[in-house]
Structure formats: C-alpha cells, structure tokens
Chains A and B, each alone.
Chain A
Amino acid sequence: MKRGEKVALAGMLSAFAVASGALESLIPPLPFAPPGFRIGISNVASMTAAAAVSPLAAFAVAIIKSVFVLITRGTTAFLLSVAGGLVSACVTVLLLRFARGKVGCIGIGVASAAFHNLAQVCVYSLIIGTAAFWYLPYLLILGSFCGALTGILLDLALRFISKRDYAP
C-alpha cells in the first residue's frame, strides 16, 4: 500500500469508528447485559488499522473516536473511551507484533475486548471505588462473545482490504 492509500484508509477507519460508536449508543442494550454494555463494533476500526495500516494509525483511530465522545457525551465518557481504546489498541498492536501468524482475528478480538473492559473498569473504579471491579466478571463473560464477533468483522474487513486492487 502506498502512503496516500494508508492515510486514506486510516481516515476512513476513523470515520467508521466515530459513526459506529454513535450508532451503537442509539440501539437498545442487549437484554441480559448490564446497562452501558456495548458490543464494541468501533473497536473493529482500530484493530483493522493496526493490522492493515500501522500501530500509529490504530492509536490515532482510538483517539479520534474518543474525542468525538468527549464532544458529544462529556469528560467521564471520554476518559472511559480513551482508556479502553488505547489499552485495547496496545494489546492488538502487541499481538500483531509478537504473535502474528500464531493468533487469528478471533483471538485478537477477544483479547482486545477483555483488555478494553479491564481498562474501563480501572477508570470506573477511580470514580466509583472498588465496587466497579464486581462488574468485571459479567464484562469478561459477555466480552468474550462480543470480542469473537468483532474478530469475525476484523477478518471480513481485512479480506475486503486485501482484495482491493492497489496499483503500484
């Protein structure tokens, strides 16, 4: 991929992260999930950026998404979003750096979701106290399914990108 194409792809992924984040907050929560729980579709964007563009692009996508959250939903939501986004991007980047070929998209999705939850609960606990950690088991269980789903979406995105004809 040429530099221009990388920049364009990173931009599109950022737009997707912002849009899917906004849309996800509109749909009603899953019936058995705690309020505020989301599947994390926008996480697909930063994972795709990490796998197809560069680590830097993955962090950029996460930050751009969080800035949108800051504007629309305030500081607390921003802190939760940016902590989750950056930590899960870190995990994705590290897995791709050190275990590329050994882990698949589903593994990346699940690990990234788990650390996203962990980071958010840590920020949550700064605001609310240790009661926040009681929330973690539910998040991990639901997150492993939602992480697998985002992993499948990551695979679809990567297939789509690799099929595009990027003329040299």
Chain B
Amino acid sequence: MKTKLFKKADLFIALAVLITGIAALLLISLSQGGGRTAVVEYRGETVKVIDLDSVKEEYTFTVKGDLEVVIEVSPQGIRFLSSPCPDKRCVEFGLLNKKGQVAVCMPAGVSVRIAGEGEYDGVTG
C-alpha cells in the first residue's frame, strides 16, 4: 500500500509530541518556587548551587570536569564563558536566566541548569 503525505493519524501523532513538549515545559516552570537557583553538575553530581536572585555582582569560577570550563555568574543569569572544547556548543547556549533552561558542555561532562528555589532549599552557596 502506498504511503500518503498526510493521514488523520498524523495529526494525533504531531499533537501528542507537541503537547508533551509544551506540557513538560509548563510543568518545569510552574512546579518550582519563585526563586531561581542555578545548579552546576559534573556527570550527574552536583558541583555547585547558586541562588541567582542574591547575586549582586558578576564573578566567574572554573569547574574541573573532563575539561576545565569557566562559568560566569551575574545578576542577569549564568553562562558558560569559555571552554577548551572544540565545538564551543556550551558557550553558544548563551545566558541562562529562566527556569528549565539548560546548557551543556558534552566534552567536559558539565551541565548548568536553572531550577526553582524549592529544589535546593538551604544549600545555596
């Protein structure tokens, strides 16, 4: 049997995928408290937790993953400043300042994401 360009089932497939994605995004931004906490992880282990709302001035720190990456924190948000990796995807993610945003440096095994404050109460540093 020939496969047509579009059948009714396609609409359900596309909507299912789209709605799952949108629902997951909404859930991430709604389920967490008001504050914004940046979580820096190396291969799934938390390296550093920063309360972004209490950051007053810009500073940088390095994370020794498989490669040594430099991360910049400012009142505006958090970003990968530089990395010795070849593709620099992590830097391309740019500034993270909304809950649910993630930036990853695959070669270094380091990730940064923004969580709500509830998830990391009391361990900000």
Would B111 and A129 count as touching, CB distance under 8 A? yes
Would B102 and A152 count as touching, CB distance under 8 A? no
Q: Does B21 contact A (CB under 8 A)?
A: yes
Given A128-B43, A129-B44, A131-B104, residue A136 in contact with residue B24 (CB < 8 A):
yes
Would B17 and A140 count as touching, CB distance under 8 A? yes
| Nearest chain B residue, comparing its CB with the CB of A143 | B17
Would B18 and A132 count as touching, CB distance under 8 A? no
| Nearest chain B residue, comparing its CB with the CB of A100 | B1
Picked from B14, B24, B41, the residue with its CB within 8 Å of the CB of A107 is B14
Contact with A along B101-125 (1 / 0, CB 8 A): 0101011011101000000000000
Would A76 and B106 count as touching, CB distance under 8 A? yes
Contact with B along A116-135 (1 / 0, CB 8 A): 00000000110111111011
Would A131 and B44 count as touching, CB distance under 8 A? yes
Given A128-B44, A128-B104, A131-B102, residue A104 in contact with residue B5 (CB < 8 A):
yes
Compute how far the CA of A129 lies from the CA of B17 in the bound complex, rounded to whole angstroms. Answer: 23
B40 to chain A, nearest CB (A): 10
Compute how far the CA of A151 lies from the CA of B11 in the bound complex, rounded to whole angstroms. Answer: 12
Chain B residues packing against A (C-beta within 8 Å): 1-7, 9-10, 13-14, 17-18, 20-22, 24-25, 28, 39, 41, 43-45, 87, 89-90, 92-93, 100, 102, 104, 106-107, 109-111, 113
Chain A residues packing against B (C-beta within 8 Å): 29, 34-36, 51, 76, 96, 99-108, 110-111, 113-114, 124-125, 127-132, 134-141, 143-144, 147-148, 151-152, 155, 158, 162
